Chain A
């Protein structure tokens, strides 16, 4: 079956540090890959996505590259801010003939940035 494995948390970094959160996947077929973010007290929101191999998704200074050879989609940011403190979820979906694509999520990584 399909699955997503992401880096165990929690992760604590100082402001302006470099961030990497690892994500690898197992899927039958060619999935699309996502990073969702959950800020305290809120639901999830899409951070970035990539739909095919070698695509790079980017948003708000975050980037992730779809690596088919290593089945990975690691999230990176060059200089984190306190406002980036949140829980980050890696997820995948496979195209459905019926148009009801379902997401498979990783377990989430809690990130805390200290000033």
Chain B
């Protein structure tokens, strides 16, 4: 079975903290994505990666960075968390040239 896991389901952080969200997939997929989900806004793409060490900005990259050192792992980094980054974060992966994305369960982040 296809599996995308995220390191935490719930996370509470303070303003200014550095936050790491980890995502691991076991399907040998080339593509990995980070989205944030907010009520009334749907899912918005933050960053994606199509290969190890490769990354591209999505629609809302400001305030975020990413790291992909191994094919199966894609990390989202909030360099200095702010309250407007309180959200649900979803990771997804897909095979190259395949359109279907597989999602993890999400991390609900609260920044105080």
Instruction: Show the binding face of A for B, using Cβ within 8 Å.
Output: 32, 34, 36, 41-46, 49, 51, 89, 93, 98-103, 105-108
Contact = CB atoms under 8 A, between A and B. Distances in A.
Contacts of A32: 99
Given A43-B104, A101-B94, A101-B99, A106 B48 contact: no
Contacts of A51: 99
Nearest to B96: A99
B41 interface: yes
A49 B42 contact: no
A56 B99 CA distance: 17
A44 B33 CA distance: 13
Category for how many chain B residues contact A: 20 to 34
A44 B104 CA distance: 8
Contact of B42 (A42, A98, A107): A107
21 contacts: A34-B99, A36-B103, A41-B105, A43-B92, A43-B103, A43-B105, A43-B106, A44-B92, A45-B102, A45-B103, A51-B99, A89-B43, A99-B96, A99-B97, A100-B30, A100-B56, A101-B99, A102-B45, A103-B43, A105-B42, A105-B44
With most chain B CB atoms within 10 A of its CB, the pick from A34, A102, A105 is A102
